[in-house]
Amino acid sequence: MTDRPTTTTDAGIPAPSDEFSLSVGPNGPLLLQDHYLIQKMAHFNRERVPERVVHAKGGGAYGILQITEDVSQFTKAKLFQKGKETELFVRFSTVAGELGSADTVRDPRGFALKFYTEDGNYDIVGNNTPIFFIRDPQKFSDFIHSQKRRADNHLRDHNMQWDFWTLSPESAHQVTFLFTDRGTPRTWRNMHGYGSHTFLWYNAAGEKYWVKYHFKTEQGIENFTDAEAKAMVSEDPDFHIRDLYNAIKRGDHPSWKVNVQIMPFEEAADYRFNPFDLTKVWPHSDYPEITIGRIILTRNPENYFAEVEQAAFEPSNMVPGVGPSPDKMLQARLFSYPDTHRYRIGPNYNQLPVNQPKVPVHSYNFDGPMRYKNPTDPVYAPNSYGGPVADPSLYEGESYHISGEIIRSAYTKHREDDDFVQPRALWENVLSETDREHLVSNIVTHASAPEVTGEMKKRIVEYWTNVHKDLGQAVAKGLGVS
Ligand code: NDP
Ligand code: HEM
């Protein structure tokens, strides 16, 4: 006898053997009555849940949000009150690659945060870029299709990617960002995160503000060059997961400053840019970043599948003091994420430990597959038998007036709205000479793939010329387009 536990079936019955199936004689055929063998094979066949339709490859960690400044004049959200500490889970990811794809390929990186607050879970499901490729969710699935694989040969296709981008000029800002070296961050620890959308904050008096979140790395920005990123694809395709895991394991806890930009509610209507357009930033000269706290990652998950693969972030998880803005992309995401979780993990995904709020749940939703905690009677509201009662006063301040025609249309233009003005500012005012050289060569390398047609190359040159004529000229030279 050893002190090791006895293997059991999933029903806890001692297993008959770890090695041998039940057969008729040592050389004979197997018996259907070997229910243990059948359980092992049947369970194995069901080990996978579908991978995320986007952001399939990623890694995660637990940590803490610490608020150091008083922002109670802007929001009553409990997690943002000075001195407050809130546990969190973060998941970093690439977007287009599958679950087994390489970490260092050029792509935006997901930067998804789940805060376990005393008012339930608050999720900020952002990226390492402050903007996005499109501004209307009608184009989201088409955009993703163009970045993933063709229908005929299952290959990714740069011609298809440039086709979508050049037909969607609103993508220029994000594509510029993507083709700088920030499109290939050295590690997840060395990149910023952004909530990207504009959100609503409201305080205890019901006063409203618009807010953008910025998470600024305290490790410093570090990127791979295109060549370094590609070399790492073969050297260690799991480089980013490994880097984060090992850093936390050795006690080197990565951290980010939590900054916000705040716009008084009334200023949105006349702001020079549409402040809800996800392809635009709010320039710092108009709305400076204010540091309100810090996040620090302190603990690795113990089980990748249970805690990272089954983590379910949802932009619709918002707590009192925070609300959505009219950003059309955000509005669509409020539906999309809980819907995909119900399909991918199952309708009771919120009962899994990584998703479970740290406060009691008093909901009238019940039953469904894999449910193990259920409400007791009464099972309906309103009731006269002591069941939970909603408190609408918690959301006072959230409401505001909207009216208009029911219409399918682009956003109303604000004074300086233009698809190219902000990427041009990035090129002209922010990028160093080396950054610009790398931007050009990264674009040229990507657009030189054999499947990119001559006609497409002309469109690519035109696209970049719209951002800046010098950039257009440099790309034309690199692609041999006259
Ligand atoms: P600022 O000069 O005040 O800000 C420039 C911003 O660009 C900083 O946040 C800086 O972040 C970031 N940045 C620096 N180097 C790069 C790079 N290689 N790639 C991408 N971002 C970089 O100017 P504005 O606020 O007026 O913005 C000018 C342009 O900067 C925008 O059009 C946008 O393209 C870009 N930008 C703006 C942001 C914003 O929220 N206003 C955020 C990020 C980019 P840091 O040095 O900390 O990394
Ligand atoms: C993941 C939809 C835009 C960031 C996902 C998933 C879906 C989705 C279905 C898979 C979720 C899962 O299976 O867990 C959409 C739609 C969008 C949109 C419909 C627009 C209409 C954005 C934008 C950002 C973003 C603008 C960032 C600002 C993320 C992140 C993940 C993700 C970080 C991974 C979350 C995780 O780590 O589990 N998105 N998305 N998405 N999306 Fe989006």
Return the structure tokens found at 46: 């069901």
Determine which helix (DSSP H) or strand (DSSP E) holds 447, and give its type and residue range: helix 433-447
Mean pLDDT of 301-308: 98
Average pLDDT over residues 337-362: 97
- DSSP annotation of 169: G
Is the bond preceding 450 in cis, omega lying within 30 degrees of 0?
no
Ligand nearest the Cα of residue 334 is: 2
Cis peptide bond prior to 378, omega within 30° of 0 = yes
Over residues 79-88, the mean pLDDT reads 98
Ligand 2 binding pocket includes 56 (Cβ within 6 Å): no
Which residues are bridge partners to 122 per DSSP? 115
**What is the chain's mean pLDDT, rounded?**
97
Residue 202 assigned to a binding site? no
Give phi and psi for 67, each to the nearest 5: -105, 125
DSSP secondary structure of 363-393: -S----TT------S--SSS-SSS-----GG
State yes or no: is 203 an active-site residue: no
Mean pLDDT of 11-24: 96
280 C-beta closer than 6 A to ligand 2: no
What ipTM was estimated for this complex? 0.98
Taking alpha carbons only, the member of 221, 193, 298 closest to residue 253 is: 298
Q: Measured from the CB, is residue 446 less than 6 Å from ligand 2?
A: no
Query: Using one digit for the tens of pLDDT, what is the confidence trace for 28-49?
Result: 999 999 999 999 999 999 999 9
The C-alpha torsion from 441 through 444 and 447 to 453, rounded to 10°, is -170
- Alpha-carbon distance 434 to 76, whole Å? 44
Tens digit of each residue's pLDDT (9 = 90 or more) over 401-448: 999 999 999 999 999 999 999 999 999 999 999 999 999 999 999 999
* CB-ligand 2 contact for 58 (6 Å cutoff): yes
> Is residue 452 predicted with pLDDT exceeding 90?
yes
Which atom from ligand 2 is nearest to the alpha carbon of 311? 38
pLDDT per residue over 246-260, tens digit each? 999 999 999 999 999
Q: If you average pLDDT over residues 375-392, what whole number do you get?
A: 96
Query: Predicted confidence band at 482 (pLDDT cuts at 50, 70, 90)?
Result: confident
Cβ burial of 384 (10 Å; 0-12, 13-18, 19+) is exposed
Q: How far, in Å, is the centroid of ligand 1 from the Cα of 284?
A: 8
Alpha helices in 138-253 (DSSP H): 140-147, 158-167, 172-179, 226-235, 239-249
Nearest atom in ligand 2 to 58's CA: 37
Q: Which pLDDT does position 1 carry in this prediction? A: 58
User: Among candidates 88, 103, 51, 121, which has minimal Cα distance to 244?
Assistant: 103
Alpha-carbon distance values, 51 to 58, 96, 151, 311, 345 (Å): 11, 12, 19, 12, 10
**What whole-number distance in Å separates Cα of residue 174 and Cα of residue 194?**
13
Using DSSP, state whether 293 is helix, strand or coil: strand
Inter-residue contact 479 to 471 (CB < 8 Å): no
Provide residues with CB under 6 Å of ligand 1. 130, 177, 180, 182, 192, 216, 221, 281-285, 422, 425-426, 429-431, 435
Q: What is the atom index within ligand 1 of the atom nearest the CA of 181?
A: 18
Torsion region of 368: left, alpha or beta (phi above 0 gives left; psi -120 to 50 gives alpha):
left
The alpha carbon of 428 and the centre of ligand 2 are apart by a number of angstroms equal to: 31
- Decide if pLDDT at 82 tops 70: yes
Residue 2 to residue 102: CA distance in whole angstroms? 42
Topology of domain 19-48 in CATH is Cytochrome C Oxidase; Chain J (4.10.91)
- 55 catalytic? Reply is yes
| Amino acid symbol at 168 | S
Quick check: helix, strand or coil at residue 222? coil
Give the per-residue pLDDT at 193. Answer: 99
Mean pLDDT of 283-291: 98
> How far does residue 361's CA lie from ligand 1's centre (Å)?
41
In the three-class reduction of DSSP (H, G, I as helix; E, B as strand; rest coil), residue 65 is classed as: strand
Buried b (16+ CB within 10 A) or exposed e, 168-193: bbbbbbbbbbbbbbbbbbbbbbbbbb
Nearest to 278 by CA among 141, 63, 132: 132
Mean pLDDT throughout 327-348?
A: 97
pLDDT of residue 415: 96
Look at residue 2 and tell me whether its pLDDT is greater than 90.
no
> Domain boundaries in the chain?
19-48, 58-149+156-358, 431-479
pLDDT > 70? residue 62: yes
Q: Which residues lie closer than 8 Å to 44 by C-beta, 6 or more apart?
A: none
Give the contacts of 107 (CB within 8 A, at least 6 positions apart).
Answer: 94, 95, 96, 97, 178, 183
- Residue 226, φ and ψ in degrees, nearest 5: -55, -45
Spatial CA neighbour of 190 closest among 217, 215, 213, 228: 217
The rounded Å distance from CA 427 to ligand 1 centre is: 10
Answer for the pair 422, 281: CB distance below 8 angstroms, yes or no: yes
Q: Are 329 and 127 in contact (CB under 8 A)?
A: no
What is the pLDDT averaged over residues 89-105? 98
Taking CA atoms, 277 is separated from 34, 194, 331, in Å, by 61, 15, 12
pLDDT at 116 over 80: yes
Ligand 2 pocket: which of 138, 337, 340, 354 to mutate (most atoms <8 Å of CB)? 337
Which one of 178, 186, 426, 440 would you pick to mutate in the ligand 1 pocket, going by the greatest count of ligand atoms within 8 A of its CB? Answer: 426
Residue 322's closest CA among 74, 24, 13, 28? 74
Q: Express each pLDDT in 148-201 by its tens digit.
A: 999 999 999 999 999 999 999 999 999 999 999 999 999 999 999 999 999 999
In the predicted structure, residue 208 carries a pLDDT above the cut 70: yes
Please give the sequence-ordered ranges of beta strands (E in DSSP) within 265-343, or none if there are none: 290-299, 322-324
CATH class for the region spanning 58-149+156-358: mainly beta
Q: Which two tokens stand for residue 141?
A: 């699935």
Model confidence over 233-248: pLDDT tens digits? 999 999 999 999 999 9
Residues shown for the chain: 482
The mean per-residue pLDDT over the stretch 6-24 comes to 96
